Amino acid sequence: MPILPGLTGDAITTVTSHNTALAMGSGAVDVFATPALAALMEAAAVNALDAILDEGQTTVGVHLDIQHLAATPIGMSVRAEARLMTVEGRRLTFRVSAFDGVEQVGVGSHQRVVVDTERFMSRTAAKVR
Catalytic residue annotation:
34, 42, 68
Closest Cα to residue 111, out of 26, 40, 57, 46? 46
CA distance 68 to 104: 9
Q: Where are the beta strands (DSSP E) in 6-103?
A: 8-14, 57-68, 77-88, 91-99
> Sign of dihedral through CA atoms 63, 91, 60, 68?
positive
Contact call for residues 96 and 38 (beta carbons, < 8 A):
no
